[in-house]
Amino acid sequence: MTTIFDVPIQAFLGQLLIGLINGSFYAMLSLGLAIIFGMLKIINFAHGAQYMIGAFAGYLLLATFGIGYWPALLLAPIIVGLCSAAIERLALSRLYNLDHLYSLLFTFGLALALEGAFRYYYGSSGQPYAVPKELAGGYNLGFMFLPKYRAWVVLASLAICISSWLLIEKTKLGAYLRAATENPTLVRTFGINVPLLLTFTYGMGAALAGLAGILAAPIYQVSPLMGSNLIIVVFAVVVVGGMGSILGAIITGYLLGILEGLTKVFYPEASNIVIFVIMAIVLLVRPAGLMGRDA
């Protein structure tokens, strides 16, 4: 049998793929967190709940209205984005003048309340959500079986990350966002409605979480706690990548996902903590993160 570092190549490539898929979700979620943090200076603890609601929106659209996966892929992020934009307008925007701790506590409380409500109505066990029939089945790559849906998730996540990055780095809207991140007051003197831009940004960041949620629904089950299990890892990813660094969040998301997968091959006991060990080392050696700007 072919081996690599004394490990069967099948196991190696299998974990590499699982790592890449987990990394796809880390990247999408940390991207949204980084966008929100960069612009609003808010640590959005509700991000995991917004991801969970994206998945539930898909599940409920199907169960209640018979709306399938593909329309849900568009509708779920819109629903999550609009609700979150409303929350920003009504509540979060009132906290900007206070210490950042207040908005952190607010989003933390929001996450607990949302997860609690969904647990009350749907219980803690997961609801199944079927893979869309166009993406059922898989490819036999010879060394392993690759489900089509997982290949789709990796590609979709890459496309989402790249287009978000392009939107922020290469467009006029992105220039407004970057400028308002640096000096919101001056951008307002130019005639740009920065408070509206903040609402839009929070909605966008949350919509990205919702999109990750609906993408995750067929892989993991739709459960009220799916977000809180993931969000701590995603926070570690954002810290390693550099708070507020868009590219840092994306690249670190994929890399740490893959690293976590490979740790399962070589030293399974450490796979649950490897990301946090890296986070601790990065905080000690380079507190601004791998791609963060020094404050």
Partner 1 sequence: MTESAPLLSVRDLNAWYGESHALHGIDLDVHQGETVTLLGRNGVGKTTALRSIVGIIRKRSGSIRFDGKDMLRVPLHRTARHGIGYVPEERGIFATLTVEENLTLPPVIAKGGMTLAEIYQLFPNLEERRKSPGTKLSGGEQQMLAMARILRTGAKLLLLDEPTEGLAPVIIQRIGEVLLTLKQRGMTILLVEQNFRFASKVADRFYVVDHGKVIDTFAVEELPGRMAMLNEALGV
Q: Which residues bind partner 1 (CB under 8 A)?
A: 172, 175-176, 178-179, 181-183, 185-195
Instruction: Specify whether the CB–CB gap between 213 and 160 falls below 8 A.
Output: no
Question: Cβ of residue 295: shortest distance to partner 1, in angstroms?
Answer: 13
Q: Which is nearer to partner 1, 148 or 178 (CB)?
A: 178
Q: Which is nearer to partner 1, 134 or 169 (CB)?
A: 169
Q: Which is nearer to partner 1, 171 or 229 (CB)?
A: 171
Question: Cβ of residue 97: shortest distance to partner 1, in angstroms?
Answer: 12
Question: Cβ of residue 200: shortest distance to partner 1, in angstroms?
Answer: 14
What residue type is 289 in one-letter code? G
Question: Cβ of residue 171: shortest distance to partner 1, in angstroms?
Answer: 10
Exposure string (b/e) for 193-209, b if CB count within 10 Å is 16 or more? ebeebbbbbbbbbbbbb
Exposure string (b/e) for 119-149, b if CB count within 10 Å is 16 or more? eeebeeebbebebbeebeeeeeeeebebbeb
Question: Cβ of residue 247: shortest distance to partner 1, in angstroms?
Answer: 12
Q: Which is nearer to partner 1, 128 or 191 (CB)?
A: 191
Closest-CA residue to 159 (of 270, 255, 31): 31
Q: Which is nearer to partner 1, 138 or 195 (CB)?
A: 195
d(CA 260, CA 27) in angstroms, rounded, equals: 14
Instruction: Specify whether the CB–CB gap between 253 and 32 falls below 8 A.
Output: no
